[in-house]
């Protein structure tokens, strides 16, 4: 399974905004410079997070982004879904019923495809694990110096 780089970007930006706090919004340009990312593409990821209710945005010269809710209420799965969409990673197209399998009796296909079932179980476990971890959990396990450095750079005072 491979997720787009926007997931990593979104997660790191959310973590940064959590450390900075909500005193001042942080612009796309500042976030892009902090991580050495292309601002236009990063902004698309941030806007997806706004649409999902994870971030809020303030327009204008002094505008930017803030977390829309506390870090303990933002799961890693929330961010993944906002960026990648809600669709299942694996889609079974029932190729077992094509080609040579097309002539097999229908009773052979009454049970769900074993491969699709296994992939579904694995994806559900993955989604549950990401849904069980919040930004607050990540904040708690991050090196304190990383949080302090981020706050100093952006001028934030939050936890």
- 52-105 confidence digits (pLDDT tens): 999 999 998 889 999 999 999 999 999 999 999 998 888 888 878 888 878 888
Using N-to-C axis directions, what is the helix angle for 76-84 and 39-51, rounded to 10°? Answer: 110
Look at 14-18, 33-37, 96-100, 150-154 and tell me which has the smallest mean pLDDT: 96-100
Tokens of 2: 């491979």
**Domain boundaries of the chain, sorted by first residue:** 5-154
Q: What is the DSSP letter of 26?
A: B
Q: What is the CATH number of domain 5-154?
A: 1.10.10.10
Provide CB contacts within 8 A for 141, sequence distance 6+. none
Give the per-residue pLDDT at 1. Answer: 65
Among candidate residues 23, 78, 12, 18, the one with its CA nearest the CA of residue 48: 78
Tokens of 66: 């803030």
Where is mean pLDDT largest: 18-22, 89-93, 109-113, 134-138?
Answer: 134-138
Supply the pTM of this predicted model.
0.87
Give the per-residue pLDDT at 156. Answer: 61
């Amino acid at each position: 399974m491979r997720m787009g780089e926007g997931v990593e970007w979104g997660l790191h930006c959310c973590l940064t905004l959590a450390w900075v706090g909500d005193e001042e919004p942080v612009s796309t340009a500042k976030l892009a410079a902090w991580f050495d990312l292309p601002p236009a593409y990063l902004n698309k990821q941030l806007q997806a997070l706004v649409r999902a209710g994870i971030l809020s945005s303030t327009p204008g010269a002094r505008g930017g982004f803030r977390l829309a809710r506390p870090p303990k209420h933002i799961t890693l799965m929330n961010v993944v879904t906002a960026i990648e969409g809600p669709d299942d990673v694996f889609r079974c197209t029932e190729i077992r019923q094509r080609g040579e399998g097309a002539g097999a009796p229908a009773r052979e296909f009454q049970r769900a495809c074993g491969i699709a079932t296994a992939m579904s179980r694995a994806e559900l476990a993955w989604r549950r694990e990401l849904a069980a971890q919040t930004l607050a959990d990540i904040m708690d396990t991050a090196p304190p110096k990383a949080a302090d450095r981020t706050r100093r750079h952006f001028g934030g005072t939050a936890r």
